[in-house]
Amino acid sequence: MLTIDLYLQNFLTHSKIEIMLLALLICVLAFLSLKFVITRKDSCNVYLIDFTCYKPPSSQKYPKDRFMKNARESGYFSESLVDFMERILDRGGLGDETYLAEIFFGKSYNPSMEAARREVETIVFSAIDMLLAKTGIKCEDVGILIVNCCIYNPEPSLTSMIVNRYKLRENIITYNLVGMGCSAGLLAIGLAKNLLKVNQNTCTLIVSTDSMTENFYYGKNHSMFIVNCLFRMGGAAILLSNRQSDHHNSKYQLLHAVNTSTSNSDRSYNCIQREEDGSGKIGISVTKHLVASAIATIKPNITALGSIILPKKEKLLYILIYVVRKLLPSLNIQPFMLNYGKAVDHFLPHVGGKMILDGLQKSLGFSDTEMEASRMTLYRYGNTSSSSVWYELAYVEAKSRMKKGNQVWQIAFGSGFKCSSVIWRAMKTVDDGDVNNPWTDEISRFPVMLDNHDEPMPMY
Ligand SMILES: *[C@@H]1O[C@H](CO)[C@@H](O)[C@H](O)[C@H]1NC(C)=O
Ligand SMILES: *[C@@H]1O[C@H](CO)[C@@H](O)[C@H](O)[C@H]1NC(C)=O
Ligand SMILES: *[C@@H]1O[C@H](CO)[C@@H](O)[C@H](O)[C@H]1NC(C)=O
Ligand SMILES: CC(=O)N[C@H]1CO[C@H](CO)[C@@H](O)[C@@H]1O
C-alpha cells in the first residue's frame, strides 16, 4: 500500500477526472488480486475429524475460598502477598469450579516427578481414549503425533509416553513442542498442516496440555504469583486427517493457519519468563507489559488474517474508503473499521486472563456475545494454557451454535511473545448432547453473569 500511496501523491497534481479513473482502476486491480488470494486452491485438504477435552473429577474443584484459606493458614505468605492473591482471584475472571491437580489437595506441597507424571498421564490418556472411542480411529492409523506442553518436560518425552501407551507404529513422525507457551497448540495445527502436505493419507493426533504440579511457585515475588492464581488443569486431544475418505465424517475443514512472533523485541521477550526470583525459587514472572505486548503481537496478524477472511463487500468498501481518503483528505472521511464479527461466525481467543480478554475486546471491537465462549471458559476451567481454545470450541458446540458452513477463528497467544491463529469451516451442523463434551451436562446454566470489576487487575 505504501508504494500505491507514493504513486498517488505524484498524481494529485493532475486533473480530477484522471484521478478518479485511476482510483477506479486501483480498486478493480486490488479487488481482483484479493479475489485471487482467497480463491487460490490449497492442494491438500486438512480435516478435523473430532476433538475431546479432559474434564477432571468434581473432587478436584478448587474454589477461591479454599485457595485463600490455604494461603492464610500456611502462614508462609506475607499479608500483602495474600491480599494480592485475593485481588487476582477476584478480578482474574475465574469462577469457583476450576480444577487443580491432586497435589494441591494434600496437607503440604511436596511435588514429585511421580505425581506430575500421574497427573499428565490422566489428562492425556483420558482425552485420547475418548477421542479414539468417539472417532473409531485405530491406533495403527495414526501416522503423525504432535504434543505440546509448555512447562512439564519429562524424559522420555510426552510423545514417547503416548507412543508407548497406545503402541503406535514404529515409523510414526513425532514432534514434542515444549516451552512454547499457550500459542503452541495452534502452532501444532499449522505444523500438522505443513506435514500433511508431504504425507498423503495420514491421520495426525495432536495433544495440548500443561502441568503445574512440579512448578507451583512457592516464593514471595508478586509478579510470579499471577500464573499460580490463574493456571488450572486441563488438556485436549485433536484428530486431523488428509484422507479423502474422512471428508464425510469430519467436523471441520482447516482453511488457514498463521503465526507471528515478536520475540525480537526485548519487552515482548521478557514479559512472561520462567526464572529464579531473588531467593532462588523458580516461577513464571509476568510483567506489566504483558497486555501491551500481547496486543502488539496479535493486532498485525489479526489485520492480516482479517483481510484474507473478510467478506468481499467489506473488503471492497475498505479499499474504496482508503483510496478516497488518500485522494480527497479535505473530505475528512473516517477510516473504515474492519468488522471482524462479519468475517467469522465464532471468535475464540485463548483465555489468558480477564485483563487480556478485556484488552482484546476493546482494541478489536468485539461484542460481548462474541467474547462469550472465552469468558465462560475462563470462568469454568481457568487458564488451561494451550487447551483453552478447545474448551471454547466445545462450548459453542454444546450451545448448538455450530451450523454447517460457519467459520471459526481460534487465536492463541503466549510467552515469546507469540500468536497463532487457525480458521476452520464447519462441515456439518454439530448436534448437541455429545456425552464426551465437557459442557454438555451443565450448558443450560451458561452464560453466567460475571462481576464486572472496573478496577484493573493488579500487575507487578
Ligand atoms: C507460520 O506462519 C507462516 C506464514 O505466516 C507459515 O508459512 C508457516 O508455515 C507457519 N508455521 C506453522 C508451524 O504454522
Ligand atoms: C496461563 O497459563 C500458562 C501456562 O502455565 C502461562 O504460561 C501463562 O502465563 C498464563 N497466563 C496468564 C495470563 O497468567
Ligand atoms: C521479582 O521478580 C521480578 C522479575 O523477575 C524482579 O525484577 C524482582 O526483583 C523480583 N522481586 C523479588 C523481591 O524477588
Ligand atoms: C500470515 C500473516 O499475515 N502473517 C503476518 C503476521 O504479522 C507479521 C507482522 O507482525 C507479518 O510479517 C506476517 O506476514
Q: How far is the CA of 227 from the centre of ligand 3 (A)?
A: 15
In a domain, 215, yes or no: yes
Report whether 175 contacts 189 (CB < 8 A). Answer: no
Q: How far is the CA of 130 from the centre of ligand 1 (A)?
A: 30
Identify the residues whose C-beta falls under 6 Å from ligand 1: 187, 190-191, 194, 257-259
Asked if residue 177 and residue 34 are part of one domain, the reply reads no
The C-alpha atoms of residue 316 and residue 37 are separated, in whole angstroms, by 14
Which among 378, 384, 38, 47 is positioned nearest to 189, based on CA atoms? 47
Report whether 350 contacts 389 (CB < 8 A). Answer: yes
Asked if residue 7 and residue 146 are part of one domain, the reply reads no
In a domain, 450, yes or no: no
Asked if residue 288 and residue 188 are part of one domain, the reply reads yes
In a domain, 83, yes or no: yes
In a domain, 454, yes or no: no
Question: Quick one: pLDDT at residue 433?
Answer: 75
Residue at 89: amino acid letter: L
CA 297 to ligand 4: nearest atom:
10
The C-alpha atoms of residue 408 and residue 252 are separated, in whole angstroms, by 9
Q: Assign residue 285 the CATH number of its domain.
A: 3.40.47.10
Ligand 3 pocket, residue 223 CB under 6 Å: yes
Question: Quick one: pLDDT at residue 334?
Answer: 73
Asked if residue 256 and residue 332 are part of one domain, the reply reads yes
The C-alpha atoms of residue 296 and residue 380 are separated, in whole angstroms, by 28
Helices 2-11 and 312-327 pack at an angle, to 10 degrees, of: 40
Ligand 3, atom 7, lies closest to the CA of 277
Nearest ligand (C-alpha, residue 80): 3
Nearest ligand (C-alpha, residue 189): 1
Asked if residue 39 and residue 52 are part of one domain, the reply reads no
Identify the residues whose C-beta falls under 6 Å from ligand 2: 150-151, 181-182, 210, 226-227, 230-231, 272, 284, 286, 352-353, 383, 385, 414-415
Asked if residue 348 and residue 305 are part of one domain, the reply reads yes
List per-residue pLDDT tens for the chain, 460 residues long. Answer: 444 555 545 555 555 666 666 777 776 776 666 655 554 444 589 999 999 999 999 999 999 999 999 888 888 889 999 999 999 998 889 999 999 999 888 888 888 999 999 999 999 999 999 999 999 999 999 999 999 999 999 999 999 999 999 999 999 999 999 999 999 999 999 999 999 999 999 999 999 999 989 888 988 888 898 888 999 999 999 999 999 999 999 999 999 998 888 899 999 999 999 999 999 999 999 888 888 888 888 877 777 777 777 777 777 887 888 888 888 888 777 766 666 667 788 999 999 888 888 888 887 778 888 899 999 999 999 999 999 999 999 999 999 999 999 999 999 999 889 999 999 999 999 986 788 999 999 999 999 988 765 555 555 4
Cell of 421: 491463529
Asked if residue 165 and residue 38 are part of one domain, the reply reads no
Ligand 4, atom 7, lies closest to the CA of 301
Ligand 3 pocket, residue 221 CB under 6 Å: yes
Query: For the chain, how many structural domains are there in total?
Result: 2
Ligand 4, atom 9, lies closest to the CA of 300
Q: What digits encode the pLDDT tens for the residues 288-329?
A: 888 888 888 887 777 777 777 777 777 788 788 888 888 888
Identify the residues whose C-beta falls under 6 Å from ligand 4: 258, 260, 300-301, 304
Strands, E assignment, 282-351: 282-286, 346-349
Asked if residue 21 and residue 82 are part of one domain, the reply reads no
Asked if residue 158 and residue 114 are part of one domain, the reply reads yes
In a domain, 193, yes or no: yes
CA 181 to ligand 2: nearest atom:
7
Asked if residue 36 and residue 61 are part of one domain, the reply reads no
Q: Domain range for residue 173?
A: 47-445
Strands, E assignment, 277-390: 282-286, 346-349
